[in-house]
């Protein structure tokens, strides 16, 4: 028997076509669409203003491949890491990061990753597949609900900084942001969303052509090609020169300043010379810098820099008039911090297939 179509993979136009062919008035599709996206229904029986025969027909015709929280861990700093089980048994990880009045959802865009960045635990996993827009949307909804249930606060920000490279799943990531920001979806401001990329120059330009409204962050971590090639193989085909050109193109199209993410590794990229290279690169692109402390991973070759070297690095950037913030990692005790998502403790995605 042929598998059922996930109803959430249909556009409103496709849904209207399916329902009118079944003999329903066209406005019925808008009601169903509202249940799926604005009210986040994951069961046809919850669609209470629809007739029972229509709900039964939809159950026979379609499915809703909802994401579920399989397991969660709560850090001593109140960060929550969620293992999200997908319909086909794979697991991705999402994180709720509370910080003052901010409640941030860190969400995944792929099962595993293909980029093999040396400092990232996810990069040690094989990329199994891309996530669909509805699976990305579900992560946000589930983390949003957790923020309300656990801390009584609304979700304020979303970062695509979990597992996977968002720009290698561009169409589904873009579709998910449209659902999240639409008044017919979650209605969140695109300015509350940041998509982080390891640096795919042609897709950065495409974001400019598409006029995206969300924020963009580039995982930089070294401002010379030799060092960046060593830690991020993607740089071999997306050099700093190409990235600078793409980012300036993106800025010209959108007016959005990019954020450079820079993890400081001891004795690798934490000298004053490294800081000057970063400052010089920042002056080529409208940007600001987030300095991130390194979170060790199993068998990693890098170590966290010292507080003194970190302070000197930041001071040198500020002396060069660079906008810089130091981001303190959260959730380290549950492997939920930046670069640590790797599906540990019996939830490895290879085991769940």
In this prediction, the residues of the chain whose per-residue pLDDT falls under 70 are 1-2, 297-300, 329-353
- Write down the pTM of the prediction: 0.90
5-63: which CATH number, 1.10.150.530, 1.10.1370.30, 1.10.1200.10, 1.10.260.40? 1.10.150.530
Topology annotation, domain 68-352: TIM Barrel (3.20.20)
Residue ranges per structural domain of the chain = 5-63, 68-352
pLDDT of residue 198: 96
Q: Which of 93, 135, 165, 261 is catalytic?
A: 93
Please write the tens of the pLDDT for every residue from 212-257. Answer: 999 999 999 999 999 999 999 999 999 999 999 999 999 999 999 9
What is the CB neighbour count within 10 angstroms for residue 307? 9
Please write the tens of the pLDDT for every residue from 291-318. Answer: 998 877 666 678 889 999 999 999 999 9
pLDDT of residue 347: 43
pLDDT of residue 297: 67
What is the CB neighbour count within 10 angstroms for residue 256? 20
> Is 106 labeled as catalytic in the residue annotation?
no
**Token pair 């997306």: residue:** 238
Reading the block at residue 234, the tokens are 């993607």
Q: Which of 259, 264, 324 is nearest to 294 (CA)?
A: 264
> Is 338 labeled as catalytic in the residue annotation?
yes
C-alpha to C-alpha distances, 94 to 58, 82, 129, nearest whole angstrom: 30, 5, 16
pLDDT of residue 344: 52
What does the H/E/C string look like for the chain?
CCCCEEHHHCCHHHHHHHHHHCCCCCHHHHHHHHHHHHCCCCCHHHCCCCCHHHHHHHHHHEECCCCEEEEEEECCCCCEEEEEECCCCCEEEEEEEEECCEEEEECCCEECCCCCCCCCCHHHCCCCEECCHHHHHHHHHHHHHHHHHHHCCCCCEEEECCCCCHHHHHHHHHHHHHHHHCCCCCCCCHHHEEEEECCCHHHHHHHHHHCCCCEEEEECCCCCHHHHHHHCHHHHCCCHHHHHHHHHHHHHHHCCCEEEEEEEECCCCCCHHHHHHHHHHHCCCCEEEEEEECCCCCCCCCCECCHHHHHHHHHHHHHCCCCEEEECCCCHHHCCCCCCCCCCCCCCHHHHC
- Buried-exposed string 37-55: b where 16+ CB fall within 10 A, e elsewhere: beebbbebeebeebeeebb
pLDDT of residue 327: 85
pLDDT of residue 118: 84
């Amino acid at each position: 028997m042929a598998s059922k179509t996930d109803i959430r993979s249909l556009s409103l136009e496709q849904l209207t076509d399916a329902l009118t062919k079944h003999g329903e008035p066209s406005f019925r599709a808008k009601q169903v669409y509202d249940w799926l996206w604005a009210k986040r229904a994951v069961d046809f029986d919850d669609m209470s203003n629809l007739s029972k025969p229509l709900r039964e027909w939809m159950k026979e015709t379609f499915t809703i491949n909802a994401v579920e929280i399989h397991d969660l861990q709560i850090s001593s700093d109140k960060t929550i890491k969620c293992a999200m089980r997908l319909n086909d048994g794979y697991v991705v990880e999402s994180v709720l990061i509370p910080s003052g009045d901010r409640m941030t959802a860190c969400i995944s865009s792929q099962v595993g990753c293909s980029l093999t960045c040396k400092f990232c635990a996810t990069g040690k996993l094989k990329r199994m597949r891309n996530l669909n827009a509805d699976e990305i949307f579900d992560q946000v909804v589930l983390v949003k609900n957790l923020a309300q249930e656990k801390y009584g606060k609304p979700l304020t920000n979303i970062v695509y900084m979990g597992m996977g490279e968002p720009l290698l799943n561009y169409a589904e990531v873009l579709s998910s942001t449209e659902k999240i920001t639409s008044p017919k979806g979650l209605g969140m401001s695109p300015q509350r969303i940041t998509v982080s990329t390891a640096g795919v120059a042609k897709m950065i330009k495409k974001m400019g052509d598409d006029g995206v409204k969300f924020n963009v962050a580039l995982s930089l971590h070294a401002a010379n090609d030799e060092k960046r090639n060593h830690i991020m193989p993607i740089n071999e085909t997306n050099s700093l020169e190409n990235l600078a050109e793409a980012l300036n193109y993106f800025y010209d199209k959108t007016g959005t300043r990019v954020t450079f993410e820079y993890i400081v590794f001891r004795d690798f990229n934490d000298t004053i010379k490294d800081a000057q290279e970063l400052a010089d690169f920042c002056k080529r692109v409208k940007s600001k810098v987030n300095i991130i402390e390194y979170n060790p991973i199993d068998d990693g070759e890098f170590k966290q820099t010292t507080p003194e070297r970190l302070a000197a690095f930041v001071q040198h950037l500020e002396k060069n008039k660079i906008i810089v913030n130091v981001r303190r990692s959260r959730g380290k005790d549950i492997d939920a911090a930046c670069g640590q998502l790797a599906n540990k403790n019996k939830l490895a995605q290879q085991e769940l297939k």
